[in-house]
Amino acid sequence: MSKFFKTVSWIYFLAFIELLLSPSGATAYSVVRFGAKGDGRTDSTSAFIQAWMQACSSVRPAILSVPRGTFLIRSVTFTGPCRNRIQFAIHGKLVAPDNYYAIGNSGYWIQFHKVSRLSITGGTIDAKGAGFWSCRSRGQSCPQGARSISLQWCNNVLVRGLTSYNSQIMHISINRSNNVKILNVKISAPSGSPNTDGIHVEYSMGVTITDSTIKTGDDCISLGQGSMNVWVEQIGCGPGHGISIGSLGNSFNEGGVQNVTVTNSVFTKTQNGVRLKSWAKPSGGYARNIVFRNLIMRNVGNPIIIDQKYCPNNICPHQNSGVRISQVTFLNIKGTSSTQAAMTFRCSSSNPCFGIKLQDIKLTYIDRLRRPTLAYCENARGSNSGIVFPRSCL
């Protein structure tokens, strides 16, 4: 028997085993039954869509199963609502086409739209973003770029055990979705890859991100406008730009950010640690009831920073930020800073930060001259307790 037929037979055998082992009461739909080929070359987009349509219309709980192998798919939207709960189970690997235009023009690669009771489990996805990054670095006319996994208007979602490589832009985007849990994911892109945020959240409530490792070229996690009731724990972040709230205030009418906790996490050689950032122009936005606690910084630039004059491209509005920042707690944050300014609170003159709380902070400067770390305050009001080093400027 040829190697090809052996491979095909093995794939179908695995699909059969998955059917037998599927959770009680669930019906499995393997993409290979609909013509998908795990050879890494054949476009299997249509097969994935057909499998999804069958699984989504199932009265019983359903599993869309991707067996071992490498499956090439173009931009695809998996649309709900589905009739019952549905699992997107990846046992193999999903890859994007080599031509970055194939997914770059759509803004997304794998999108779930209006799907509730969804779980995305296991496996690996690789968007092959290097060509897109190269296009941008050369200043050419490039597509807008694609988010690897996009959740739009989805509720009650679990993403578990997923590995994501080399997204064109954001790896996982959560927008207008509620009750989303991301657990035990691994995200990786080179430190120089532009705008490759690990996980980005906007206009979503009840998001939990835990037990994950994120190495990327932008924010490990970014919480944009309208993010509420977010819990982030046990994250290994770095390289990257840290964990950020914002940027906020780029438009006047935007939702606020509130009730966010980032805890029990480690930052390694990131450009920033924990950061709130807003544009210096009028806005009705806000960020309040934020807690950063039990964090370790390892050779991190700007371990603690509020920057209300955020301007990454040097095209700055030179106004006052209208974003109101209040009730932000930094508790038990320790480690080493690669910048002498270990704490920076650069707040708006028209809307000063207030309710900033510092407790049990110890950040030392990695410096041959053994200079101490410093704190910088501008229009910031708050309080200190316990040992705070560098000496607080609040």
For residue 286, what are the contacts with CB-CB under 8 A and spacing of at least 6? 256, 257, 258, 323, 324, 325, 326
Dist CA 263 CA 332 (whole Å): 10
Name the DSSP class of 245.
E
Pairing verdict, β 286-300 and 186-188: unpaired
Active site residue 171: no
Tell me how far the alpha carbon of residue 372 is from its chain's centroid.
34
Residue 59's CB: how many other CB atoms inside 10 A?
Answer: 8
Helices marked H in 229-379 — which ranges? none
The one catalytic residue among 241, 307, 318, 367 = 241
From the candidates 197, 200, 218, 307, give the one annotated as an active-site residue.
Answer: 218
Cis (ω within 30 of 0) for the bond into 81? yes
Tally the C-alpha atoms within 13 A of residue 338's C-alpha that lie toward its C-beta.
Answer: 12
**Does 113 participate in catalysis according to the annotation?**
no
Residue 150's nearest CA partner among 184, 192, 123, 115 is: 115
List residues bridging with 266 in a β-sheet.
236, 296
Residues assigned a catalytic role: 218, 241
